[in-house]
Chains A and B, each alone.
Chain A
Amino acid sequence: MALLQIAEPGQSAAPHEHKLAIGIDLGTTNSLVATVQSGETKTLTDINGEAMLPSVVRYHGEQVSVGKSAQQEAALDPENTLISVKRFLGKTAEEIASSYGQLPYTFVEHQGSLAVQTCAGPVSPVQASAEILKSLHQRAVESFGGEDVMGAVITVPAYFDDAQRQSTKDAAEIAGLKVLRLLNEPTAAAVAYGLDSGQEGVIAVYDLGGGTFDISILRLNKGVFEVLATGGDSSLGGDDFDALLVNTFKQQTGLTDLTAKELRLFINKAKACKEALTSYETVNVKLPVREQEFTVTITQAQFADLAEELVKKTLRSCRRALKDAGVEKEEVLEVVMVGGSTRMPVIRSAVETFFAKPPLTSIDPDRVVALGAAIQADILVGNKPDSDMLLLDVLPLSLGLETMGGLVEKIIPRNTTIPVARAQEFTTFKDGQTAMSLHVLQGERELVDDCRSLAKFSLKGIPPMAAGAAHIRVTFKVDADGLLSVSAMEKSTEVQAEIQVKPSFGLSDDQVAQMLKDSMSNAKEDMQARMLKEQQVEALRVLEALEASLATDSELLNEQELTALRDAMAALDNARLTATDPQAIKAAIEQVDEASSEFASRRMDVSIKHALQGQSVDEV
């Protein structure tokens, strides 16, 4: 019986110091980073005190600028300035052209994926997103006095499909961030409001940003958030309200054929007018054009009339999401407002009327998502071992396979709680067929052409049999981040094929590694040094985690097993402190992983038993 835990020299027995973790809201228009420090959750600001980093990346010569400076130069250098790249993540050139019309970019195919041609060569949306993440990462490291972060939670829209989630994760990897979790934006907002503590019920998150509208219905029960349904409109946002005002300006001034410059002025004035209407009943807009000054007066009531159709559109999405979630409007306990556009009184009052309760607006709607992500990151990195919070997510869009006739057979329907694994059996349709190609799709429609193609792969080496005699079992697995992997096996021969679904236009692991390398040679960083640093941090993480597990559960191992594990850990600790080759540390981590696998599985069984025991005791 072990009564005393004796630590090896240089090996901390019970690490309790605060680990640094960040939450990142990688937004379409603006991005933010937040953290929890001394119990306080706050967004981190740049040297000018700005929390919001415009999601704009400009490539010029050898340099890359991100944020406000890039934004200010956008008009001078539109083709090299990437604005709102989040819209392009995981998309094909055709999809972008059909959704966004004319853009100042030249899209090219680069290494099998979409890229924008810039003066610095082809840049993929993933790489541009990585630049934004890098900039926020750096901001965090600077504010922590140079100490690196142990991990990050990055938010994504709840409806993001597999390709878009995978792209986000790839971008983080290129930016050198360890992703603790991809978190849905609405869930993050609810977490920021602390809705996890003490409340039970249904929560609606109404998120109206610059260019997108999302509505999510969450259920909250004893600290567990469950996304019940999501909906929205990916082409409805604050910009559409500006466009309505621009139209009114045109009508009132009689100027219909505006030059690009005049249009820009009208749009800027419309934005300013919309913002002023949040605090004033009446706004006079001055429009100095063509050597005249027009004045247009807009009242809140007029604006409300103009906006009525758009507002109704968002409410229709709300109704549909509630229906998808299977809940009534009256069951909604709280409504959380997210996105700068929810500052508009016309939105607030419409939402209040619709849900028959005042929405939550006390946290800055621009920051609320990043703050929630930071809270979750703090828990995931292990700073709050006693936290009861658990965030359960659902699959936003159904996953399926192409079958005969260009139809899609759904394997996992949308709104299924993840992680999930589902298998389905298929058979050959020709005598002597020895291969089967599998086309993985995501979407709700029945036709292949209407769904998003995620990947194609084939199962080869099926022994020739009569049509219908082969049993091919296709298994879909979706992890907690919503990322899919698919495997296929012929049952009688156990011939297998497996892929981690990297979408057809996404990136392979090699490509990610290459981009990582590129991004570092650009910044004149030392690749080897950074990889070594990363492996050292990872090694420390593994050791600390195991120490913590051993402190509570070492009795699950017999003496021999414990010794083997301790030896592997000591070897890793040694490698961490002395090795100069990152591969050596990596190998030592794998050794420890191997040596601890049985321990991990026993711990899992114990915790399951424990979870239910607690339950039966409560019931007695």
Chain B
Amino acid sequence: MRYFELFDLPVSYQVDLSVLNQRYLDLQRAVHPDKFAHLGEREKLLAVQKTAEINDALAVLKHPVKRAEYMLSERGVDIRAEQQTLQDPAFLMQQMELREALEDIQHSGDPEAEIESFEAQAKQLEQQYSAGLGELLASSDESDLHRAADHIRKLKFVYKLKDELSRIEDSLFD
């Protein structure tokens, strides 16, 4: 997979972020357009393209959901631009409850405690759907890849909740 190759990392859902960051900086130091500021236009253009590619690869590999989506698409299942809705009533019901809880935080008497408990729930869900994702993504079984897709879709919901939570936190404490 090109992005992993670019960073000379083994293809695996488990990525050592400190190694990733270190390699990113090494690569940037080699190809950043600033290194070519005193050289010709063509070299500068090339440097901009390479650096952009490296930046993109980093953004994907760094983010657990984007990384999973990328690996899945490289395995032939591309869910990145899909509009499909989730067919899991129990999960959706739970999401609705969580969204309601999120809205209640703003009117709660002790928002900080509420936020903390909400964070814990979100984290628990994140762990639930991330666990085993690495194996599923590496599996040669087609059905495993579709199970991975299902996990990733759910993880996206969880990340959206987390974003929403941090927005609420912002509005409460600013």
Contacts and interface: CB of A to CB of B under 8 A. Distances in A.
Interface in A158-188: 180-181
A421 B52 contact: yes
Given A545-B39, A600-B42, A615 B22 contact: yes
A604 B37 contact: no
Contacts of B158: none
B56 A380 contact: no
B37 A479 contact: no
Contacts of A607: 30-31
Contacts of A224: 25, 28-29
Interface string B34-54: 110111111100111111110
B37 A381 contact: yes
Contacts of B35: 390
Interface string B46-69: 111111110110110000000000
Interface in A63-121: none
Contacts of A612: 7-8, 23, 26-27
B32 A480 contact: yes
B8 A480 contact: no
B34 A380 contact: yes
B59 A181 contact: no
Given A323-B170, A600-B42, A611 B26 contact: yes
Nearest to A543: B40
B27 A592 contact: no
A185 B81 CA distance: 38
B174 interface: yes
A381 B35 CA distance: 9
Nearest to A607: B30
A264 interface: no
A545 B51 CA distance: 20
Interface residues of B, number: 38
Contacts of B174: 316, 319-320
Contacts of A610: 30
Interface in A365-396: 379-382, 388, 390-392
Contacts, number: 121
A611 B48 contact: no
B34 A480 contact: yes
A316 B174 CA distance: 7
Contacts of B39: 542, 545-546, 549, 600
Contacts of A421: 49, 52-53, 56
B28 A419 contact: no
Contact of B42 (A320, A381, A593, A615): A593
A151 B28 contact: no
Contact of B38 (A221, A390, A541): A541
A604 B47 contact: yes
A542 B23 CA distance: 30
Contacts of A151: 37-38
B107 to A, nearest CB: 22
A422 B53 CA distance: 10
Interface in A271-330: 316, 319-320, 323
B27 A600 contact: no
B8 A420 contact: no
Contact of A221 (B25, B31, B170): B25
A181 B58 CA distance: 24
Interface core residue of A418, A592, A600, A610 (most chain B CB under 10 Å): A600
Contacts of A594: 42
Interface residues of A, number: 54
A222 B25 CA distance: 9
Given A593-B41, A611-B29, A612-B27, A477 B47 contact: no
Interface string A200-236: 0000000000000000000001101000000000000
A170 B2 CA distance: 38
B38 A545 contact: yes
A421 B45 CA distance: 13
Contacts of B81: 425
A11 interface: no
Nearest to B39: A545
Given A545-B40, A600-B46, A479 B30 contact: no
Given A316-B174, A480-B33, A604-B47, A611 B56 contact: no
B51 A419 contact: yes
A612 B58 CA distance: 15
A127 interface: no
A558 interface: no
A596 interface: yes
B164 to A, nearest CB: 15
Given A224-B28, A422-B56, A382 B34 contact: no
Contact of A601 (B27, B32, B46, B170): B46
B28 A392 contact: yes
A382 to B, nearest CB: 4
A608 interface: yes
5 contacts: A19-B38, A319-B174, A480-B32, A546-B39, A604-B46
Given A151-B38, A549-B39, 14 more contacts: A222-B25, A390-B28, A392-B28, A392-B32, A417-B55, A421-B53, A477-B48, A545-B38, A546-B39, A589-B40, A600-B39, A600-B40, A601-B46, A611-B26
Closest 8 CB pairs of A and B: A611-B30, A382-B38, A380-B37, A545-B39, A607-B30, A421-B52, A480-B33, A600-B43
